[in-house]
Structure 1
Amino acid sequence: MITSTIPALSAEQLAFFKENGYIAPIKVYEPEEMEARWKVERLKLMDRSNAVYQLDSHSGNTNIANYDRHLDSEMLAQHVCSPEIVGRVRSVLGPDLLCWRSEFFPKYPGDEGTDWHQADTFANASGTPQILWPQNREFGGTITVWTAFTEATIDMGCLQFIPRTQNQMFYDETKGMKYKPQEINSVAKDGDVKRGFFGYDYRELQIDPDWTPDVDRAVSIELRPGEAVMFWSTLMHASHPHAGNTKKMRLGFAARYVPTSVQVYPGSDAIEEYGGRIKLDRYGAVVVAGDNHNETNRIASATTRGFAFPSLP
């Protein structure tokens, strides 16, 4: 990693983040270090014997298979707890933080783009809230830190954002969406750009059926290996298709953070989405900074292999 000190957003960076909903690039690793770490770790992750989610035949072929590998991988555990990341998130969310989820986002040559979307309670696929902020908040969302484990260029499918959209929800997550991967994939939704949402049509959640995202204001975030972008999940975001001009995969790893007062998976003992189902009996959120202020949350103090999660005081 870059430094042993605890970084934070500068006043200028914090002002930019509050206005636009994102900040990039954040350097978490040097490119050579990232490539070396991932070369070793990708082989280890093939072993799911200690993963908290044991997948059925359907779940293993969907995005749900990529959830929360920081709960069994020491390298990913160190990553989600990294001061390079947590220190900056703390600048926005305050001293007491949970990492409640992590996800891999691979994009292979020829893959379509990801459709424009926002996430507040993450009920978008199932209609069941996965995080709930205290009741005095109109909506909350999460801060996502999306780290490029490989090169992420426009041609390879890097992320896109529409700045200053984080404070208004254009979608109603309580509607839920129908999982129809064979019908929805590869639909041209943005001019000639083919976008999908892992087997869902995100337009089913639109509050105004006739509304369309203002794609003319979109910005593309290209990242080197080891660089990250930090953004509100309520910010309108998408990704480019992988044009296939290289045989290399684009891989991002997203860690999601909320204050410890936020309730995680309220009343749920399983997640059902993307055509799969995972039980939460071995799940735990990770306190990455400060103290836990919600005793109803499941908390994990160590990975399933016994590595204790480091936490900022």
Structure 2
Amino acid sequence: MDLTSPAKDFSLSPEEVAQFQRDGYIGPFDLYEPEEMASHLKELRPKLLNTKKAIYGGGRTVSGTTNLANYDRHLDVDFLADHITRPEIVDRVSSLLGPDTLCWRTEFFPKYPGDEGTDWHQADNFSNVAGSKHPQIVWPEDAEFGGTITVWTAFTEATVENGCLQFIPGSHKSMNYDESKTMEYDASAINSTEKNGVRRGFFGYDYRQLQKDPNWSPDESKAVSQVMRQGQFIVFWSTLMHASHPHSGLTDQMRLGFAARYLPTSVRVYPYSTELEEFGGEASLEKFGNVLTSGRDVFGHNRFTDRTVNGHPFRTR
């Protein structure tokens, strides 16, 4: 598998790469004008409600905690397929991961009026939310780090009042959580738990249960709020300590973020799994495929999708 690409117009400068390595994130960057994103979102909503073509549309919800049908919708919705391969995103990701990259996961993160903030957390191999406890991504043994690059796009405006992201700069270099531990689901805890005076939760789970040191707590005095206008995106390591503010309810508008996750092609994706297991939901990975977003795959240990967008190969650059 190979892809050719013209000169990269959106690559990060050496100074920006150094900033990312220091802080664990960089951005936000402009991608769509607000009115353009609003138009895309209007067209997108009915497609998201129709899950017949979604690759996890036939999934099972064991505890009712999540809907896997709206995971990886870039595999059936053309706008999202185009979005994850935009050069504004891919060139910057390639600056950080190298020339050969793939997108293995996308997720929507809505926050409705009155919703709690998301717990402070980090993700390395993503095994903590999988019922099988298998790592979802496995880096080569000689890799110096793990995790994934997340590109989080504000499909709506993201403000402190409606629940924008928060980062603790520089916290990506060491893991404070043990992903082999288990979190216990408690539906009654949703929107009802305060941590350090802030309503926070993790979709019915308490991320503190994964702490290596039960007496440790993140230094929230160092937290930075990531206010973003509609149509911007930000790039960060999944191992960066990140959270989100609660939705204050002062506006009736939901906050919607779309996260795309990228890796070098050397990383194995779902190497031990035949099903996706997330927060009580289960679905077969039979129709799953990674998307080659730049360069080529010389390893051959990952499955790639062969779908097209508007009759053209998935990536048309």
1:293 aligns with 2:298: yes
1:173 aligns with 2:179: yes
Give the deviation of 1:162 after TM superposition. Answer: 0.2
Equivalent runs, 1:122-141 vs 2, <5 Å: 122-126=126-130, 127-137=133-143, 139-141=145-147
Residue type of the partner of 2:12?
L
Partner of 2:268: 263
Separation in 1, partners of 2:64, 2:308: 21
Q: Match of 1:29, SS?
A: coil
Unaligned residue ranges in structure 2 (runs of 5+): 1-6
Partner of 1:40: 43
Q: Match of 1:24, SS?
A: strand
Residue type of the partner of 1:198?
F
1:87 aligns with 2:62: no
Give the deviation of 1:115 after TM superposition. Answer: 0.1
Partner of 1:15: 18
Partner of 1:52: 55
Runs of 4+ in 1 over 4 A off after TM superposition: 57-61, 303-307
Partner of 2:31: 28
Partner of 2:221: 216
1:244 aligns with 2:249: yes
Q: Match of 1:166, SS?
A: helix
Partner of 1:188: 194
Aligned pair count reads 308
1:99 aligns with 2:103: yes
Separation in 2, partners of 1:184, 1:31: 31
Separation in 2, partners of 1:152, 1:220: 10
Residue type of the partner of 2:120?
W
Of the three residues 256, 271, 286, the one matched with 1:281 is: 286
Q: 1:288 to 1:237 in 2, by over 3 A?
A: same
The Cα offsets for residues 66-108 of structure 1, whole Å up to 9 and x where unpaired, read as 3100000000000011101001001100000010000000000
Separation in 2, partners of 1:286, 1:91: 18
Aligned-residue CA RMSD (Å): 1.9
Equivalent runs, 1:190-209 vs 2, <5 Å: 191-209=196-214
| TM-score under structure 1 length normalisation | 0.93
Partner of 1:254: 259
Unaligned residue ranges in structure 1 (runs of 5+): none
Q: 1:112 to 1:184 in 2, by over 3 A?
A: closer
Separation in 1, partners of 2:70, 2:197: 29
Separation in 2, partners of 1:232, 1:169: 12
| TM-score under structure 2 length normalisation | 0.92
Q: 1:306 to 1:172 in 2, by over 3 A?
A: farther
Identity of aligned pairs, percent?
Answer: 57
